[in-house]
Structure 1
Amino acid sequence: MAMKPHGKSIVSSDYDEKVLFLKDLSLGPHEAQLRFRLIHFWEAWNPLKKTLIGMEMLLIDEQGTVIQGFISPGRIETYLPKMKRGSVYKLDNFYGSRNKSVFRVADHTVTVSFSWNSELTVLLDCPSQFDDDRFRFHSYEEFQANCDLKGDLYDVVGHMKLVNGQSIHEAPVLDEVEIAKARRVLIHVQSHDGPVMKLYLWDQAAREFCKKFKSYEGTPTVLLVTTVNTKTLGGTLALTSMSSSRVFMDYDVQPTIDYFSWLGSNPDIAEQVNAEVVTKRETMTIGEIFSYIEQESAKDAFFECTATIDDVVHGSSWYYIACSGCHSKVSKGPTSLLCTNKKCGKVNVSGVPQYLSKISVYDNSDQAVFVLLGDAGRELTGKPASELVRSYFEANGNEGVNLEAPIPEALISTISQKHKFCVKVTEHNLSGKTRSLTVTKILSLDTPPATASSEDNHTTATSEETSQNRVDSADGSKGACCSSELERAKRRKCGN
């Protein structure tokens, strides 16, 4: 065996070429040859600048050493046509660069970087044997210990409990259109007999999950996802896929086959379902909700938040006139009221007052404006908006019936009360159009978290389209409601 000047081993091949093992790779330029199987490759993007950083790869050699590879943006077109996952290659001339310190996908301290004179060639008849893959698994405890550190990305394997809120035992139905719109799938997964974990699959990982899930004749049970990131969401551990993540199920790879066998030998584990653990909404402070909204990967979500009512926001109507059928805003026609919801389209409808009230709230972390819609307003005051409006005009001899009723005492009396609010983060929050948070339900402080299924049932009646019709009815536009409303509420409270 020949030796390089720096003491690393060189192996002679059948082609009389010098091959360097990955375990011996050091920093700096190399004119040697590497031989490896290309496990996976993916584009790496800067999420803030929306720019392509390069092409990243996961490579494994005949000794089973795994290393990360990298191709700069300007060189991707040169090598991409030759690249196929699972194929074996030789690479002549390359540079050993230092592996990144965050979101690493391999233990090796060096990354194989393609340089100006790198030559990549497919090996069709290679006498050496290369493993197909290599995984790095973490348990719940290990994920918990490394949560929010942005360090190495490890793999998770376990059995699915819920898929988008549907029990795995009830053959979940995946709506690919809705998943494409939301760009994510939420799976509750349990690894062996450990705690149930929330696993969010985004974009490509979500699409890959749907494709594999539907390809099975029966309902798959075992799930393996590579290179997941760990975050704390509302005090709860959450795993999220990354651009490097891959998805495997029941019989795809040896670890899923082994886990499937283990699960068959432990049927009691597979049948265990703790509904409160796997379906409760995350509890967050106001500050944490705003931090979530600012995240690049944030999507529509529901949270529970305990806050104190500081004031009722003045300057806009606290109710709107709704269609008695779909609760969307109505408009005045020549002779009758017309529903503005195209899916409803009723004419000559009965107008019913519905809550659209804005309240200023705060907790120990921040302050916000919450918007009370429909049932949420009734749950807060104990009375429907229609009753409050009718009572006002009856008490005033029906004078000014064409004008708006002022904010009722039933709303004003809630100032200083503390409640647990169920709030929804919508696309309007994520796009920066508004910081107002929509309240879907109000709970007593000792009410346990609701399940995902009950949340779904509740929000069916307050769809995005219906909610937006309500907001438009009060504002006349999609204008933002933020610090100016908070200040207006405070000035009113101080009597200025």
Structure 2
Amino acid sequence: MPNKPLSALTLQDRNAEVQIQVHRKWEFRGAVDNGPILHIDMILTDCTGNAIHCQIPSFLAATRGDEFQVGKIYKMTRFSVARAKSTYKPVDGDLMLYVKPYTTLELCHTSPSGFPLYVYHLTSYDKIDPDGSNARNFHDVLGIITEISAIKPVGNAHIPSSYNRHVLIKNLSDDILKITLWGKRAQEFSLTNTYDPQKQTPIVVLFVGCLPKEYQGEVLLSGGAACHWYFNPSIEEAEAFYSRIESEKINIELPSLDKQEITPPSFPQREHHNLKYILSLNPHDVPDQGYECTVTITCIPEGKTWYYIACNTCPNKPSIDPVIRQCSTCRSTNYCFRYKLTFKASDGTEEAEMFAFDNVARTIIGKPCPTVVASFPDASAIPPEIAAIVSRKYTFIIEFNSQSFRFLEKTLLIKGIVASYGRMTSLPIVQEKDDVQLPLTPTKNKLITTAAESPSTPMSRLSTADSPSMPQKLTYSPAKNKP
């Protein structure tokens, strides 16, 4: 069977044979460095210079993940061709590949020429927009390294602990861009064998697989598991940088922590419980660090407002009068829109109402609140962006909200997200309680089967999932007073 170019693959291909090189490979574990593998991602190339995204689902990660070695060339057959995800795309293209249990892989001992050394699509610094249409796709940038920070542990009792480091780069216009590397990527980044402090020769770097973010008003790129870098790459776009640095010297202080083993900060360990246990508790008995629970979002209650107008001057962001748009605390008229997201979720043992403030809600919805308000200003109706979160599965860090201490009705406040598992194809429901003798052998939870089908895909900064939308039992009115 002749090898088929990657560019010639179609959705109908089931028995095509391709000759590919594993160009890049990374494991996605969600929001934690040492969590379970949610999927393994690869960029595959062929000898004609084409590239395609390929994914190994979680249930095959342990058995098939090690078969694919970076830099090796293989003949691969019996893989699945699917439409490329619309978000978190590491390469351009309409299609992607999935490794299946029956996928065959044969190592090639001869290496044809033509496989690309670099796979990238550069974005200029001024086009990096954390709220733009490409905010959930990976960005590649080129620049000269000007500064490297030491590795710093980060985290608190509500967010899984990790560590990061910042790398500052500049373009030919001397615009500065911050790259924040996380976890293992932070520890792996080192200039020890590349930069000579005596000669001070500048280093050109190509970063690939970064996501645009905004922190305290600063636009930056975040480098997680998908991030990779190349020092002094031999690409056409770098030639102008090399011409400039011929007569330039840059003093880069190499952090002393490069050679040390970094241990993330330790925090009290949280227990993981199901909803039935958590809802049975007295709110006063929940520990300060909260509990973890894994649930699927089942519905969005109607009649709940999903955002409020907050003061942008006061530290605690109190609500602003929606009519006069003035803060009652400081009298400021500088306001912003912030989420107050309410939904119901279940794990099959119980269903609970959950609530999330702006930071957590933004991660779940995938868009900042002002962006959604601009297209859907009615706070009492359900916008499509929020309706779309139904059927997504998460592991949350939760505690009871303040009203649960005063009334019998309980609501869980989400303090953080441990992991995201993407969109589920069925929703768990709680079994009806019957006054009958229960069997000694536990029965499986009943499921509501939905029409959507989705491969096993995860989170976003946390999820990288992008599955077909699932019909929801939700109604929302057209936007009112649309600007």
Q: TM-score, normalised on structure 1?
A: 0.46
Higher relative helix content:
1
Task: Please say which structure displays the higher CA radius of gyration.
Answer: 1
Structure number with higher relative contact order (C-alpha < 8 Å, ≥ 6 residues apart): 2
Q: TM-score, normalised on structure 2?
A: 0.47
